[in-house]
Amino acid sequence: MSDLRDLYEEVILDHNRTPRNYPKNPPGANCHAHGFNPLCGDEFQVHLKVQGGLVEDVGFEGAGCAISTASASLMTQAVKGKRVEEAEAIFQAVHDVLTDESGRTEAAGELLGKLSVLVGVKDYPMRVKCATLAWHTMHAALKDERGTVTTE
């Protein structure tokens, strides 16, 4: 039996209680995307200000469960101040470690750092979509993709 505390780590609960960069749409934000998981009802807007290939600022709005909210909050901290390629690499690492599709989990682990608290979600397959929603939304915003992102 996996321990509930592996899922609801203190860091997750803290970011759920007081999400960082939330609710926030930074002045000058030029990349936006909408993420929505209709079965859950989790819904976020992600806003990024990208200048010269650098994510200068980031924020999110919306509401969801503890896992999706904490993951969104951690995402904003992880990509703020990073170059777009770095932000994309972190997105890929989080995606890989949660879905384990590529077998690159170990390599991804090194990139994660503080984000490794999200790894506990892997033992809860029904909740992986919660943890990845904000990340896919951020990815879509950087790619300037239109339409609503979903991970269901």
Partner 1 sequence: MSADVAATVAISTARYDVHKVRADFPALHQSVHGVPLVYLDNGATTQKPRAVIEAGTRFYERDCANVHRGVHALSERATRAYNDARTSVQRFINAASSREIVFVRGTTEAINLVAQSYGRPRLREGDEILITELEHHANIVPWQLVARETGAVIKVVPITDEGELRFDEYLRLLGPRTRLVAVSQVSNALGTVNPIRSMIDAAHDQGVPILIDGAQAIPHRQVDVQALGCDFYAFSGHKVYGPTGIGVLYGKEALLDAMPPYQGGGEMIRRVTFQGSQWAPLPLKFEAGTPNVAGAIGLHAAIDYVRAIGLDRIAEHEHGLLEKATSALSDFPGLRIVGTAREKASLVSFVMEGVHPHDIGTILDHQGVAVRTGHHCAMPVMEHFKVPATTRASFGLYNTEEEIDVLVAALHKVREVFHR
Span 122-141, contacts to partner 1 by CB under 8 A: 124, 126-127, 130
Span 5-24, contacts to partner 1 by CB under 8 A: 7-8, 13
Site membership for partner 1, residue 79 (CB under 8 A): no
Number of other CB atoms surrounding residue 141 within 10 Å: 23
Number of H helices, E strands in the chain: 6, 4
For residues 22 to 61, the per-residue mask of contacts with partner 1, x marking binding by CB under 8 A and - elsewhere, is -----------------xxxxx------------------
Span 80-99, contacts to partner 1 by CB under 8 A: none
**In degrees to the nearest 10, what's the CA dihedral of 110, 82, 21, 32?**
-110
Of the pair 21, 69, the CB lying nearest partner 1 is at 69
Three-state DSSP class for 144? coil
Residue 128 beta carbon to partner 1: minimum distance, rounded to whole angstroms: 12
Q: Which letter does DSSP use for residue 64 in this model?
A: -
**Dist. CA 120–CA 135, nearest whole Å:** 16
CA distances 22 to 54, 77, 109, Å, are 20, 11, 26
Of the pair 3, 110, the CB lying nearest partner 1 is at 3
Which chain residues interact with partner 1 by CB under 8 A? 1, 4, 7-8, 13, 39-43, 63-67, 69, 124, 126-127, 130
